[in-house]
């Protein structure tokens, strides 16, 4: 039975990580330190929304990226002052490093000035997404 021990250890460690993974992905977190550098249309390759901009970083090997794209498009359909910019992370590594994007999808919530106010790693939960957009009223 001692051969069973490595299996049990691996499954226990993976479970702990998996629980953290499930709890952290999809949450919209306030970006703690207000980043002073504002992102502009030139850097992002798309115009900023009048009220807010959702910047999504995607990659090819990422199932929730597609879901995130569909969800955001759906939620902001009737919000002409919000824009959604989808960026292929792999072909914009400089920006990815500067913003410290580590996994996909990562969505940044920018205010009207292009300053990051919030960030979601993983496909955002619909309610949190709507809350975060509402919070960006200014």
Partner 1 sequence: MTFDNPIALTTSKSDETSSLNKDEKNYPLIDARGPRFGALITVIMLSLTLVLDSALPLLFQGLVFMIGATFGPQRTPYAFIFKKLIKPRLRGDVPTEDVRPPQFAQAVGLVFAIFALLGFASSSEPLFLIATSMALAAAFLNAAFNYCLGCEMYLLLTRAFKR
Q: Given the rule CB under 8 A, which residues bind partner 1?
A: 3-4, 6-7, 10-11, 13-15, 17-19, 21-22, 41-47, 58-66, 69, 72-73, 76-77, 80, 83-93, 95-97, 101-105, 122
Nearer to partner 1, 28 or 48 (CB): 48
The Cα 46–Cα 84 span in angstroms is 9
The least CB distance from residue 60 to partner 1, in Å, is 5
The least CB distance from residue 42 to partner 1, in Å, is 8
Nearer to partner 1, 58 or 118 (CB): 58
Crossing angle of the two packed helices 126-135 and 63-75, in degrees rounded to 10: 50
Nearer to partner 1, 5 or 32 (CB): 5
With CA atoms as reference, report the closest residue to 106 among 58, 63, 69: 58
| Cis peptide, bond prior to residue 105, ω within 30 of zero | yes
Residue written as token pair 């030139």: 42
The least CB distance from residue 117 to partner 1, in Å, is 19
The least CB distance from residue 112 to partner 1, in Å, is 17
Nearer to partner 1, 61 or 138 (CB): 61
CA distances from 75 to 18, 58, 78, 132 (A): 28, 18, 8, 12
CA end-to-end distance (rounded Å), the chain:
63
């Amino acid at each position: 039975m001692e051969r069973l021990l490595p299996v049990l250890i691996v499954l226990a460690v993976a479970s702990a990580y998996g629980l953290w993974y499930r709890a952290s992905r999809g949450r919209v977190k306030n970006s703690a330190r207000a980043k002073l550098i504002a992102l502009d249309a030139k850097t992002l390759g798309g115009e900023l929304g009048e009220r807010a901009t959702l910047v999504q970083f995607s990659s090819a090997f990422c199932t929730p990226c597609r879901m995130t794209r569909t969800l955001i498009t759906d939620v902001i359909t009737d919000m002409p002052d919000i824009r959604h910019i989808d960026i292929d992370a792999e072909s914009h590594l400089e920006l990815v490093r500067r913003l410290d994007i580590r996994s996909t999808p990562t969505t940044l919530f920018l205010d009207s000035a292009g300053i990051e106010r919030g960030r979601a790693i993983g496909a955002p939960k619909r309610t949190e997404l709507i809350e975060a957009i509402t919070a960006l009223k200014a």
